[in-house]
Amino acid sequence: MTTFSISDEFYLDQKPFKFISGSIHYFRVVPEYWRDRLEKLRLMGCNTVETYVPWNLHEPQEGQYCFDDGLDLRRFIQTAQEVGLYVILRPAPYICAEWEFGGLPYWLLQDSNMKLRFDYPPFMEKIERYFSHLFPQVNDLQYSHGGPILMMQVENEYGGYANDKNYLRKMAAAMQTAGVDTPLVTSDGPWHDMLENGSIQDVALATINCGSKIKEHFERLKTFHGEKKPLMVMEFWIGWFDAWGDDHHHTTSTEDAVKELTDCLAQGSVNIYMFHGGTNFGFMNGANYYQQLAPDVTSYDYDALLTEWGEPTDKYHAFREVIGRTVTLPAFPLSTIIKCKGYGALRAEARVSLFATLDTISQPIKSNYPLSMEQVNQATGYIYYRSAIGKARKIEDYRLINCMDRAHTFINDQLVRIDYDHDLGKTNTLDLTAEDNALGILVENMGRVNYSVHMNHQYKGIKDGVIVNGAFQSEWTIYPLPMDNLSAIDFSGTWEAGQPSFSRFVLNIEETADTFIELPDWGKGFVTVNGHNIGRFWQKGPQKRLYIPAPFLKEGENEIIVFESDGVTGEEIIFHDQADLGPRQ
């Protein structure tokens, strides 16, 4: 019988075992490239792959479950086993990961009393129901059943959020009830009270997350353990993520990372975060909020060992050399041929204003007051509110009450102002000059906060209402715009400069390859390629080009649709053979 256990050390089939692992998030990589990324991890000398599991993708609407195509977690794990890798699975309902709402599904917020990540019975009931669908996908892939899964994690960095030990214990028990018999771990920062808050040492091994001073932090972990237990950095941060508005693409020192990796392997085990970051396709980037909103860019390159598009970096080769001092490095040919290609510039074949096609892409809702995205069963994207506000006059008090994250105000379909983050809720004035006037408000969900206390206040759109001259405005028509049905756009409609719009391009190619799209002189929006939402762009950077993996393309005609929200529409788009993530640090 195969066994994996944790006592004074990790033991695999009764023999001491050292994790040399790397993080790959299957949901940030097209499934056609899973094997390539896993093979490159194995070739670097790693014996394990670690991945999070995003609840919000696997249960996008309450009671609807997805475990196929790019969400086929089972196939990802089986592929890892075929490549020769063990697996650390981190299936906690909360994953952080710089991911939309930290992996929590938006519909949790439809309970106005919801207490996230606490022993709140309705929250626990939803987790247990989700676990009853998730774990049957992977239970027989645990090592004790002949599969590659060696460990699973309870929650994630919980000590940086709260210290509800009843919640943690019930989480562990729920996993075990659902069929988990693999050893459990927790992971927390080694600072402040995080280890004390987030650990349940009689149930799960405590591990740490950090990017430097590993010798020092291992001493802290030894003291915390109180007895001899294996030391592990569950997230060895070797890079960092970028937010819109950063002045550079974050990179870290290879020399410093190599030193820390060497120190880590000398005393314990490691999981490299990230080995391969991948891409925040669609609207799935998360955000941080400290002094201000900081939504993450589309690329999750992370200055990882493989680039966003899967190319080994100098850091990869340096890490491989260090790992080669500990294990014998494998050698085998890669099974996937990947090319990068530039396809040149394209001009739009059709263009239509959002307002001219609203009724073809959205079913309007009538309400006396604005409804948030959550109230109309919408997770991400945009939402548009329209109301008649009467005759010509000066509006001295115009306010959006409890509105997030970015709002465009229109009078008679003409853009008046754009408000973002701290500006939302402030008092402004409007000048109405027409005989009859319509107020329109387009609100974008820029990505729900994925870490810390602001997670409790992530209602998107307008939650409370709109003040017009001191009073709440009523009688609204609301258009949910998740932007998941762009085939319904009516490009025969009118286009007017300065309005939000859709532009359609046709790319004819003879060979598919990875490529990178640049949108010179465009403002802000997102791009779809043959129906695949490849993510957001924003002229403020730092990211300048979006990654398009070859599996999203086909030989012959490819349809590219660009939505631009700010009325800043360029004349062309350009396909390059190289990325541009912005100036390096």
Q: Which is catalytic among the residues 235, 308, 444, 564? A: 235
Token pair in block for residue 136: 């049957």
Would you state the pLDDT for residue 61? 98
Would you state the pLDDT for residue 585? 75
How far apart CA 283 and CA 59 sit, in angstroms, is: 16
How far apart CA 288 and CA 458 sit, in angstroms, is: 12
The answer to whether 426 touches 419, Cβ cutoff 8 Å, is yes
pLDDT tens track for 471-520: 999 999 999 999 999 999 999 999 999 999 999 999 999 999 999 999 99
pLDDT tens track for 119-161: 999 999 999 999 999 999 999 999 999 999 999 999 999 999 9
82 is catalytic: no
Token pair in block for residue 506: 């046709």
Would you state the pLDDT for residue 242? 98
Cα-based distances in Å from 575 to 298, 343, 501: 17, 5, 21
How far apart CA 419 and CA 402 sit, in angstroms, is: 13
The segments of the chain whose pLDDT lies below 50 read none
How far apart CA 114 and CA 116 sit, in angstroms, is: 6
> Which stretches of 89-245 are DSSP H helices?
121-134, 165-177, 194-198, 214-225
Residues 6+ apart with CB under 8 A from 570: 519, 520, 521, 522
Residues 6+ apart with CB under 8 A from 428: 398, 399, 417, 419
Closest CA to 284 of 499, 569, 70: 70
* The amino acid at 481: L
Q: Which is catalytic among the residues 157, 260, 374, 444? A: 157
Closest CA to 536 of 175, 287, 307: 287
H or E stretch at 208: strand 205-210
H or E stretch at 461: strand 461-468
Residue with tokens 């307008």: 462
How far apart CA 159 and CA 182 sit, in angstroms, is: 22
Can you give the three-state secondary structure of 46-99, one letter per residue? CCEEEEECCHHHHCCECCECCCCHHHCHHHHHHHHHHHCCEEEEECCCCCCCCE
> What global pTM score does this model have?
0.98
Would you state the pLDDT for residue 464? 97
> Which stretches of 309-395 are DSSP H helices?
314-323, 354-361
SS3 127: helix
The answer to whether 351 touches 429, Cβ cutoff 8 Å, is no
100 is catalytic: no
Would you state the pLDDT for residue 456? 86
